[in-house]
Amino acid sequence: MIQELDLVALLADRPALQLRRGDVGTVVHVYGSGDLYEVEFINAKGETVGIETLNANEVLAVDLGRVMLHYNDVATAGDYTAHAA
């Protein structure tokens, strides 16, 4: 069962935040019976890229022993908002 502060990986792209399948975020809140999560995605400098509310079927619990890091060029939440204006 996924808990707060667990790492999860996206199972599908989230184009609005420039997030891709496989990007990893941290669960910052678990809602109700544990099938809905608030997940924060950050860049390598620790800046927030976005926060998404995701269903359990949209994420996969991360097993750090099986993770391969990859590069995804994204804007931070502040940068994205500035570009969207």
Q: Residue 37, Cβ neighbours under 10 Å: how many?
A: 24
What CATH number did the domain enclosing 48 receive? Answer: 2.30.30
Tokens of 47: 């800046």
pLDDT(84) > 70: no
Overall pTM surpassing 0.85 (yes/no): no
Q: Indicate the pLDDT class of residue 78, thresholds 50, 70 and 90.
A: low
Is residue 57, in this structure, part of any structural domain at all?
Answer: yes
Q: 22: closest CA among 76, 74, 82?
A: 74
% of the chain residues with pLDDT over 90: 58
Is residue 1, in this structure, part of any structural domain at all?
Answer: no
State the residue range of the domain holding 30: 7-84
The DSSP call for residue 25 is E
pLDDT at 76 (0 to 100): 64
Is residue 30, in this structure, part of any structural domain at all?
Answer: yes
The answer to whether 54 touches 39, Cβ cutoff 8 Å, is yes
User: Are β-strands 48-55 and 59-61 bridged in parallel, bridged antiparallel, or unpaired?
Assistant: unpaired
Query: How many domains are contained in the chain?
Result: 1
pLDDT(4) > 60: yes
